[in-house]
Each structure stands twice: as C-alpha cells, then as structure tokens.
Amino acid sequence: MSDVQGDQLVAPVLPGGGVLPFAPVPSGSIAGRTLQESTYSPRPVPKRLHDDSPNIVIVLIDDAGPGLPSTFGGEVTTSTLDRICAEGVSYNRFHTTAMCSPTRASLLTGRNHHEIGNGQIAELANDWDGYAGKIPRSSATVAEVLKQYGYATSAFGKWHNTPAEETTAAGPFENWPTGLGFEYFYGFLAGEASQYEPNLVRNTTVVPPPRTPEEGYHLSEDLADDAISWLRRHKAFNADKPFFMYWASGCLHGPH
C-alpha cells in the first residue's frame, strides 16, 4: 500500500523499516584500472519471504451465491469445492459491493471500491471522483505487493477492472492486469464473454481461442488448461518461488 501527497507517490514504511518498491541492491564490486585489478563481488539479494511461505490461489466465480453449490447447502453438486473447503476454513459473513468491477477491485486491494475509483462497472467509468474505473497506484493490488516480495503472480479469466475505452489492442496497457502486479494474464478484459467464441488476451496481445466450438472448445476448460501450463512452467523455472494465482471464470455470469 502507499499514499499520495500532492503529485508524489510516497511508499509506506513496512515492518522492519522496508518500503515498497524495495530499493535495488547496490553493487558490491569494485572497478580498478583493469579487470585484473578489479574485485567482482555482487551482494546477495535480501530474502524477503519465509521458507514456508504458502502458495495462494483465489478462485472467483461470478453470480454463484452460497445457496447454489452443495458445499454450502445448495442443490448443485460441487464435489471439488466440497473437497477444497474440507481442507481449509470457510467464511460466511461478507460485506459486498454487489457488482462485478467494484467487487474485484476491492478484493484485489483490500480497499473500499469508491476509494479506488471503482464505484461502478468498468464500462461506465467516468470523470466523477470514485468512478474513474482505474485502480490508483496509491492502492497497490495484492499481486503487486506479493510480486515485490518475491512471489510469481498470474491471473486468468475475467478481469473487468479496466475502463472499456482502454481495452482495445492499442492500449494503453497500464491498467491491464500486467500493469497492476500480474506477471502473466490469460483471459478477457470485459464484463463477460462468449463461453465458446471469446475475445481473449494473453498479457497485452489479443489472441484467438486455441480451438473452435466444433472442436469442443469451452472457455472454462481453456482457462484451467492455461493455468495448469503456467504452473508447470513455474515449477520448471521458479520452483523455489511461491506463487499467487487469481483464477476468475467467465461463468456463471454470462450466460447464467
């Protein structure tokens, strides 16, 4: 988190005296007149995470109230959700914003939706204070904070936190997921998408679905497969880093 004073972004002091973003590690090497007279001694990068830092996965499903899945007493069988909840803790009291963009912005920042410019859905972003549709840099997302500490971060599926006028292939991209702390994104920027012929984005590049509906394509399955592929790459190249994954399906929102 951070604060704004005038036009200057001021990073807060963290426990232990640190600030975000952390200052780069200065060089420990000493240059002489020649390579032989020089001392090469890079300083170690400070370790900012505990060895047992957990992996974090947020699964966000639109418009699925607690009365829908069997996990919370509903009539739709959700055996995987049953298993996940049995391994952890469930909470059943919430303050809700009752709309897509505000909910997501609050979830990702821990802030009131009006305080972070998301008092309305992104398609209705405007000039009124609290409704600009842009998460300010003074309220870092959880992905940005975790990335600064050393997490690998990724987002999949529905985003809906970028003003509609900024969601074309021309950008600007600072309010896309990769501009707000996520190192990787695969999904769609709008409030909803076809489950069979979606308009997809990978990072900041518009991409077609990998298959056609006739070939059995479905968006939720594609998002899951891409998340699994990202996890496999993460384990192959960054197995020592914990990861934060934000997985937000396109269903049940559209179509219900």
73 burial level (CB within 10 Å; 0-12, 13-18, 19+): exposed
Cα–Cα dist 17/33, whole Å:
37
Radius of gyration of the chain (CA): 21
Which tokens belong to 122?
Answer: 């992104």
Angle made by CA atoms 97, 100, 102, in degrees to the nearest 5:
50
Cβ of 203: how many Cβ atoms within 10 Å? 14
Question: Containing H/E element for 232?
Answer: helix 219-237
Angle made by CA atoms 234, 236, 237, in degrees to the nearest 5:
70
Biggest alpha carbon–alpha carbon distance for the chain:
77
114 assigned to active site: no
Q: Is 64 helix (H, G, I), strand (E, B) or coil?
A: coil
> What residues form DSSP beta bridges with 57?
245
Catalytic hit among 160, 234, 251, 253: 160
Catalytic hit among 100, 113, 234, 253: 100
Cα–Cα dist 66/77, whole Å:
12
The phi, psi pair for 225, rounded to 5°, reads: -60, -40
Cα–Cα dist 138/157, whole Å:
25
85 assigned to active site: no
DSSP state, residue 147: H
Residues annotated catalytic, as ranges: 100, 160
